[in-house]
């Protein structure tokens, strides 16, 4: 709710409280007690909100940590032009960890909405909350695209340069999806961390900043991929030229004349 609509309502309530003895008595709204769970023994009850925050943080650790590790492996793949075969299994395992993280975020996030509706409905009017939900929805759909349509083809042969033999359309989808993933995970983290944004920044501004970051990351990923692809090709070309003479010598089986050393008769040995 905007501040321009809150001011008239606040003024009307103030006038009503000050007009007449019956309305001058203190008026209090019923306060909903926080939902708690009892603990055994001497321990005090724990709030359900506290448990949901714990689940949310665990999901964030799984998702953000796994996505960051995958990004580092992809950068190394871009630079060196290939990875050991066992890294493919690591990719699949870490991607499953990210999926578990997203699941925990959704579980705890829906719990937050239920708690807010029961204890503090005004929190549902926070634009930052709906901006974070939008980012997580896009992050979830983007993860389905990556794991279902992109990773199987990319990880088919990680010993070759990344995106080698992949069509331009699928290359663009992969780079944009990677940018969306990286930016969205850190955007969700920042939105959950910065309480200063509560009710102070509009939904449109927050989403606009997120889209601008995704666009910048997509352009940066494409530029970096082109640069590292050229650098990797030059590196492979230089190593190939350095190994060519030695390879030809091994294939011919002949020793160059410049390396033949003539040895004369040895004393005491009949010739």
pLDDT value for 36: 86
The continuous run of DSSP H or E covering 46 comes out as strand 46-47
pLDDT value for 173: 82
Gap between the Cα atoms of 8 and 253, Å rounded: 96
Write down the residue that tokens 């989808």 correspond to: 173
Gap between the Cα atoms of 181 and 66, Å rounded: 11
* pLDDT tens per residue, range 193-245: 998 999 899 999 999 999 999 999 999 988 887 777 776 666 666 655 554 44
Range of the domain at 141: 46-227
Do the domain assignments include residue 115?
yes
Provide the Cα torsion 208, 209, 210, 213; round to 10°.
Answer: 120
Do the domain assignments include residue 248?
no
Gap between the Cα atoms of 135 and 191, Å rounded: 10
How would you classify the pairing of strands 36-37 and 46-47?
Answer: antiparallel
Cβ-based neighbours of 162, under 8 Å, separated by 6 or more = 74, 77, 78, 81, 154, 225
DSSP state of 196: G
- 83 pLDDT exceeds 50? yes
Do the domain assignments include residue 57?
yes
* pLDDT tens per residue, range 33-49: 788 888 888 889 999 99
- 178 pLDDT exceeds 80? yes
- 96 pLDDT exceeds 60? yes
Do the domain assignments include residue 256?
no
Which one has a higher pLDDT value, 154 or 128? 128
Q: How many CA atoms lie within 13 A of 205 on its CB side?
A: 9
Query: How many domains, in total, are found in the chain?
Result: 1
Of 164, 163, 165, the C-alpha closest to 176 is 163
Do the domain assignments include residue 188?
yes
pLDDT value for 55: 96
Do the domain assignments include residue 232?
no
């Amino acid at each position: 709710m905007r501040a321009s609509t809150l001011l008239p309502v606040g003024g009307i309530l103030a006038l009503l409280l000050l007009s007449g003895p019956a309305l001058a008595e203190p008026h209090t709204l019923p306060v909903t007690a926080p939902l708690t769970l009892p603990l055994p023994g001497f321990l005090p009850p724990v709030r359900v909100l506290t448990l949901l925050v714990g689940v949310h943080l665990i999901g964030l650790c799984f998702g953000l940590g796994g996505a960051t590790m995958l990004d580092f492996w992809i950068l190394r793949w871009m630079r060196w032009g290939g990875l050991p075969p066992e890294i493919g299994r690591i990719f699949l395992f870490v991607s499953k960890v990210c999926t578990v993280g997203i699941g925990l975020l959704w579980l705890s996030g829906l719990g937050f909405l239920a708690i807010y509706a029961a204890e503090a409905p005004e929190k549902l009017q926070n634009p930052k909350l709906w901006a974070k939900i939008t980012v997580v929805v896009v992050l979830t759909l983007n993860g389905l695209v990556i794991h279902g349509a992109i990773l199987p083809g990319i990880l088919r042969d990680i010993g070759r340069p990344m995106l080698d033999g992949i069509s331009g359309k699928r290359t663009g989808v992969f780079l944009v999806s990677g940018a969306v993933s990286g930016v969205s995970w850190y955007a969700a983290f920042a939105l959950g961390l910065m309480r200063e944004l509560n009710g102070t920044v509009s939904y449109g501004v927050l989403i606009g900043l997120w889209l601008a970051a995704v666009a910048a990351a997509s352009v940066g990923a494409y530029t970096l991929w082109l640069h590292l692809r050229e650098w990797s090709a030059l590196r492979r070309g230089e190593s190939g030229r350095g190994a060519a003479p030695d390879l030809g010598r091994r294939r011919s089986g002949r020793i160059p004349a410049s390396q033949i050393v003539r040895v004369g008769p040895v004393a005491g040995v009949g010739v």
